[in-house]
């Protein structure tokens, strides 16, 4: 089995970019170790603090964020980092050209029940003639040069793209390296599986309500086939399932909190996952726009997400074209 660096070398990925990716993986190995230690590592449970998103931080959220931030900035190859857990960007080497946006521990509510969690990352280049600070990261998803996630499950997996398809690497604990296990990941165009948080159904817009209702109606409904629902409460594991065997994942806008209708962050979650999904032959949309075409206005901007098997996403989008709604899913900070 091939190791990560030779694979990226064969793809002519720049050496400094390989070093940045390798640094992320070094942090991931430490996070994986602490997760597998569980209570023995003393990092389970919550802190008394909230992050910028207004969410109570888990202890391992804080540890993971600090590990990734420190390791990236110590390389001197990173100009700035932006984390879901940080109020503002953190500047690094002024002469470096890489920017890294990341969610240090997606699905952290699963930590204390020994469920799957993951680290999501997106790598950009510093734009020319741009003011320092948050503005550096206000780039569309199309400008990503690499993206991926590390899924900490029964095995620790790296799923990554540099714009040349999607590969899967598995952490071999005996050698301490991520080894190539899937050379090209493709999402089936059709599916009979969906992932959504059904507890919010009553708050969704009419197009999404009708779409999900038609899925639930199964072979007796307009879709004429049965669907299964899967939901892990961690985007990284739900999207991994979609990438592995097809499906549609959605976290739609809702009217529960009109001032904050969307849940997922564009820079740290929606854009990197959309890059992976599109590279694997799938599709990713807000319901109205292609996610990676959106121009960010804030680093913590939220968007609605519909992604996965191409034909099923297209079917879902037909509901948004034909059923009027008041669009509470307009991107908002």
Q: Specify binding-site residues.
A: 84, 103, 105-109, 197, 263, 269
Indicate the annotated binding residues for substrate.
106-109, 197, 263
The CA-to-CA distance between both ends of the chain, in Å, stands at 43
Indicate the annotated binding residues for Mg(2+).
84, 103, 105-106, 269
- CB neighbours of 129 closer than 8 A, spacing ≥ 6? none
Task: Report whether 150 contacts 26 (CB < 8 A).
Answer: no
260/258 Cα distance (integer angstroms) = 5
12 phi and psi angles, rounded to 5 deg? 60, 35
Strand blocks (E) in 165-324: 167-172, 177-182, 193-195, 228-229, 248-251, 264-265, 283-285, 302-303, 305-308
Look at residue 313 and give its three-state secondary structure.
helix
36/30 Cα distance (integer angstroms) = 10
């Amino acid at each position: 089995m091939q190791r990560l660096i030779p694979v990226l070398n064969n793809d002519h990925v720049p050496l400094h970019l390989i070093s940045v990716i390798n640094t992320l993986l070094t942090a991931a190995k430490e996070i994986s170790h602490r997760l597998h230690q569980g209570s023995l590592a003393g990092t389970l449970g919550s802190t008394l603090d909230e992050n910028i998103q207004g969410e109570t931080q888990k202890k391992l959220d804080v540890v993971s964020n600090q590990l990734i931030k420190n390791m990236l900035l110590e390389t001197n190859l990173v100009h700035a980092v932006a984390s879901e857990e940080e109020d503002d960007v953190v500047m690094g080497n002024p002469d470096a050209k890489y920017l890294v946006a990341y969610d240090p521990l997606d699905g952290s509510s699963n930590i204390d029940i020994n469920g799957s969690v993951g680290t999501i990352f997106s790598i950009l280049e510093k734009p020319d003639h741009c003011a320092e600070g948050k503005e550096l990261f206000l780039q569309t998803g199309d400008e990503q040069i690499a993206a991926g996630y590390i899924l900490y499950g029964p095995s620790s997996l790296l799923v990554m793209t540099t714009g040349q398809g999607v590969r899967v690497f598995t952490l071999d604990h005996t050698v301490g390296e991520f080894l190539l296990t899937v050379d090209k990941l493709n999402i089936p165009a059709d599916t009979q599986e969906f992932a959504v948080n059904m507890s919010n159904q009553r708050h969704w817009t009419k197009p999404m309500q009708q779409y999900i209702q038609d899925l639930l109606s199964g072979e007796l409904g307009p879709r004429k086939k049965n669907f299964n629902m899967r939901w892990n409460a961690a985007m990284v594991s739900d999207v991994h399932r979609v990438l592995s065997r097809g499906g549609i994942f959605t976290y739609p806008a809702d009217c529960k909190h009109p001032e904050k209708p969307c849940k997922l962050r564009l820079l740290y979650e929606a854009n990197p996952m959309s890059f992976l999904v599109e590279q694997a032959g799938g599709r990713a949309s807000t319901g109205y726009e292609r996610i990676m075409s959106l121009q960010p206005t804030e680093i913590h901007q939220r968007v609605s997400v519909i992604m996965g098997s191409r034909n099923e996403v297209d079917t879902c989008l037909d509901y948004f074209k034909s059923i009027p709604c008041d669009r509470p899913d307009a991107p908002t900070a």
